[in-house]
Structure 1
Amino acid sequence: MKHLFLSFFILTILCTMAAHAQTPSTWRVGFGIDAGVSTSDAFKYALGADIRVQKDFTQHLSGTFTTGFSHFFEKDHFANYTQYGSPYNVIPVKLGVKYFVANNLYLGGEAGAGFAFEQWGTSFLWSPSVGLAFKNGIDLSLKYEDYTKDKATKNIALRLAYGFGARRLASHKTAGNGSKDLELGISINPGVNIESADNHILGGDVTLYKPLSDNVKFTVSAGYTHMFKSYYYSYGLTDAAGNNYINNNSTVKNVIPVKVGLRLYLADTFYLGGEAGVGFATKRNTSFVYTPSLGFQLKNGIDVGVKYDNYSSRLIQDALSVKLGYHFKLNK
């Protein structure tokens, strides 16, 4: 899981470095829904929704980044499959490619990770597909999705999506038509623990934004996050003498993250972000933290997005949160 999001953070930086060499019209954003059937007897159907960012490299080849949410409906309350206990709810995060073999017909392939709730945990994910993409923005495809951690979590689904050129998202420059004004952002961030959806999380942060170009901003942020539940955690340790023993502790409830990062605007409002820093927690715990994000910043200052906070410490819970914020200009 950590390697995937570190890769995403590096990808954000690489996109930033190449931003001036890209043609804005080659970026596309799509919203899709998919419905399918499970290939195992433990589940019946699967239903999901996603958002996809697509970059056209050539006339025939495109790269994709996709994330969303999928739910597998259990069959007969898991009759004969009592080991599962709960439905499969998962957040897939994937990188992939599309290759157009004709004007509309394409072959696709994606790989990444699925972050599932409750006992399911994190799984490697791969997904081949074949589809038709039309000039009016409609994208229809048939895909096979395999969450490899368990043989029951696989499905064949039909995906219907609508995509549009990223520049159609709004009619203004995000950075203020060349403005280098500093911005101060304030947000609240409700969310859930990535390992247990019944543990709610509430946070807030203050972020300073410094435009580096029309579509890149440097960020410095600090905030506060509260986890409403803590968990008893046991793990093995080996001391300097080679003795093994079990350490028992509980996860912390309060964290102050301090981070720096970059925000890349792929369109006038749509952005990808990456941050890294230190989380200062109660009980004198500190942890490295990194945060990939995506969202929309509107002309009126409203900022709505989704972010994932990953802490390297076992005692600080990872969080998937919605970001609801507002930006103020400081150099008027």
Structure 2
Amino acid sequence: MKRLTKLIAVVFAAAALFITTQVKAQTTPANAFTFSLGAAVGVPTGNAHNYSTFNLGGTGRLQYGITNNFAVLFETGGDHFFSKKIPGTDVRYGSYGVIPLKAGVKGFIAPHIYLAGEAGAGFEVLEHGLFKDGQTKLILAPSAGWANQHWDVGVRYDSFSGDKNNYGTVGLRVAYGFQL
């Protein structure tokens, strides 16, 4: 499963690189920085599905347009996983979150339609203390979406892997951005 996730991320990134060289979408201004603030909601997959019902997060993304249809991305934020009740009790599993630091690429394949791929590290934050006993995870995140000069709506899969505890989220991100 881990190899499949990595393969999907590489395919998205390669498609964005190769396809966008021919597209004239002009949604990403060349040689310009854009900053966006976003909200994300997701459904946990893998091991996280056993302990969590859904996750909410916020992101800050800095984007630099290499060409009018291809950009590099730098993103951080936070995701909180809302815990389930332990079966047969009224007690919930411990709450946790992830602070991601990611870099990636975004390429427009048609006017306003993009494919993106990001990779980075995720730092787990556990209920009983910031980073206490939390693990650092490799994050791979392919995504697809729609964007104009200010709005960005995308669907993505975030894969968190490492230390034999692998999980992910399938989510929706809605963001508002402005040129710097």
Q: TM-score scaled by structure 1?
A: 0.39
How many matched pairs? 138
> Deviation digits for residues 158-196 of structure 1, max 9, x if unmatched?
000001101xxxxxxxxxxxxxxxxxxxxxxxxxxxxxx
Match of 2:22 in 1: none
Q: Does 1:31 align with 2:40?
A: no
1:70 aligns with 2:79: yes
Give the number of the structure whose alpha-carbon radius of gyration is greater: 1
Specify which of 105, 110, 115 is matched with residue 102 of structure 1. 110
What amino acid does structure 1 have at the position aligned with 2:138?
F
Structure 2: gaps of 5 or more residues: 1-28, 126-131
Aligned Cα root-mean-square deviation (Å): 2.1
Preserved contact between residue 88 and residue 120 of structure 1 (Cα < 8 Å):
no
Relative contact order, CA 8 A, sep 6+: which one is greater?
2
Aligned to 2:53: 44
* Cα distance in 2 between the residues matched to 1:48 and 1:32: 8
Unaligned runs of 5+ in 1: 1-22, 167-332
In 2, Cα distance between equivalents of 1:120 and 1:37: 21
Report the counterpart of residue 19 of structure 2 in structure 1.
Answer: none
Q: Distance in 2 between matches of 1:41 and 1:156?
A: 15
1:155 — aligned with what? 169
Distance 2:114 2:155 in 1: 11
In 1, Cα distance between equivalents of 2:68 and 2:102: 22
- Distance in 2, matches of 1:86 and 1:119, equals 13
Identity %: 35
Q: How far is the alpha carbon of 1:25 from its aligned partner?
A: 6.0
Please list the CA deviations of residues 28-58 of structure 1 after superposition, one character each: whole Å capped at 9, or x if unmatched: 0000010011112221101000100000001
Please give the residue correspondences for 1:180-199 in structure 2 after superposition, counting only pairs within 5 Å.
none
Residue of structure 2 equivalent to 1:282: none
Distance in 1 between residues matched to 2:53 and 2:168, nearest whole Å: 11
Q: Structure 1: how far apart are the matches of 2:51 and 2:176?
A: 32
1:24 CA displacement: 8.9
**Alignment pair present for 1:143 and 2:140:** no
Q: Which amino acid aligns with 2:143?
A: S
Moved over 3 A (4+): none
Report Cα offsets for 1:302-324 as digits up to 9, x if no partner: xxxxxxxxxxxxxxxxxxxxxxx
Give the AA of the match of 2:100. Answer: P
Maintained 8 Å contact 2:30/2:67: no
> Secondary structure, in 3 states, of the residue corresponding to 1:57?
strand
Which of 140, 154, 179 is the equivalent residue of 1:126? 140
